[in-house]
Amino acid sequence: MADSGLKNSLKKQMLKMTLIPLTLMTVAIVAVSASIVRKSITDHIQKELINDADLVSLIFDKFYNGDFHIERDETKGELVIYKGDQLLNGENTLMSMLSKRRNIDVSIFYEDVRVLTTLVDSEGNSAMGTKAAAVVKNEVYDTGESKFYDNVMVYDRKSFAYYMPVFGENGEKLGMIAVCRSAEDVQSSVFKYVLPIIGICLIVAIFFGIIMVCFNKKLAERIHKMDRYMNKLANGDFDYEMPRELMAEDDEIKSLANDGKKMARALKNLVEFDALTELNNRRSADKKLEEIRVRIVEMGMKYCVCIADIDFFKKVNDTYGHEMGDEVLRMVAAKLKKGMVGKGFAARWGGEEFLLIFDNRELDIAKRELSIIMDDIRTIYVPDTDRQITMSFGLTAMIPGESSDEALSRADANLYEAKEGGRNQIVCK
């Protein structure tokens, strides 16, 4: 039987070929989807932050006339920022309301230092006086150009931020206005949109995975059964029944199964049948005798065994040639096969000897039926001659508990007696 525990069995290979690509495809779809969603959300946030920055600038222009300018408070020794004549430092209700409403943080910089901000740390401390990241100073303040960042450190926190430069009365650079949103909030949004995609991909992957695994399992089982069937043939079990599953689908496996059946018949004919006479050969006869021996003991059935020999067959070969001898063997075999129909089993035992097995018969009944066969053999003549063919028979009943060799030895002794007694007769003991 085929070894089902092979390290690289086809079943394992097919399972890998199903699950690995399906898993990789699912991961790829989720990764691409997450990337697309993140890009979409990032683009949306960029537009929002640009609008928010414009809104902050608009609010200051709307409620405070004049330009931004920086002065130093001599009493406190601090820099203060003005919009026209309005001092902006300190509490700023408009910025606070905007920050809460838009879920953003707003900062106003002098150069790269925050002088007005809604940013606070986890303990509620204001970010007033902290500096912008060096990359922001270089790319926004120094160049005087606005810039969006999707991964910048804002007060020790990764954020999405938009920075725009602030100019004074004479067009000189004073600082920057920045609006930002925590990257954690954005990641939460990404996860919120990606999670359903992940769920759908997993459901689809599991669904198709189950279908593919079931299909591959069924296919692997059919291939395994085909392998087991071929191993049975290799071990000489030509009567092993072809599993129905192999013929279930009109595919290559069915074609292989049909070829297997043809090969089984060909091998059986080659191994169990005599090519010349088309009778069972000695190998199959031995197998039949062993089966009978078991049935006699277990079921109490009665069998008789006979060894038959063509009389003076050597003279036929010597006189008419081996081709004529082969023709005589074929004619005798045909008579024996015909005569044993419904009675039992006929086989070529070797040379000009034949074995007959009578199923479920007493010795006297078997002898009577054998007499009819013997008379039919007498009708055979060597072609184109008047030489009649006769046979001698040694018949005996098989005894429960004895070996098949013991019964054959007794039949052979009866055959010897028949030949010594003049041939063309049956000796039955």
Catalytic residues: 352
Would residue 86 be called left, alpha or beta, if left means φ above 0 and alpha means ψ between -120 and 50 degrees? beta
Q: Are 349 and 282 in contact (CB under 8 A)?
A: yes
Q: How far is CA 41 from CA 52, 78, 153, 261, 367, in A?
A: 16, 40, 19, 65, 101
Which positions ≥6 away from 11 have C-beta within 8 Å? 216, 217, 220, 221, 224
Q: What are 365's two structure tokens?
A: 């009944």
Which positions ≥6 away from 110 have C-beta within 8 Å? 70, 79, 81, 174, 175
Q: Are 133 and 178 in contact (CB under 8 A)?
A: no
Q: What are 229's two structure tokens?
A: 């069937």
Q: Which residue is listed with tokens 């088309």?
A: 278
Nearest-5° angle of CA 187, CA 192, CA 195?
A: 110
Q: How far is CA 232 from CA 47, 239, 257, in A?
A: 74, 9, 13
Q: Are 44 and 242 in contact (CB under 8 A)?
A: no
How many angstroms separate the CA atoms of 401 and 294, rounded? 9
Sheet containing strand 173-182, strands side by side = 113-117, 105-110, 173-182, 158-167, 147-153
Q: What are 105's two structure tokens?
A: 């943080």
Partners of residue 87 on adjacent β-strands: 82
Q: Taking the mean position of all CA atoms in its chain, how far away is CA 287? A: 41
Q: What are 413's two structure tokens?
A: 């002794």
Q: How far is CA 226 from CA 13, 221, 264, in A?
A: 17, 8, 13
How many angstroms separate the CA atoms of 116 and 135, rounded? 20
Q: Are 223 and 245 in contact (CB under 8 A)?
A: no
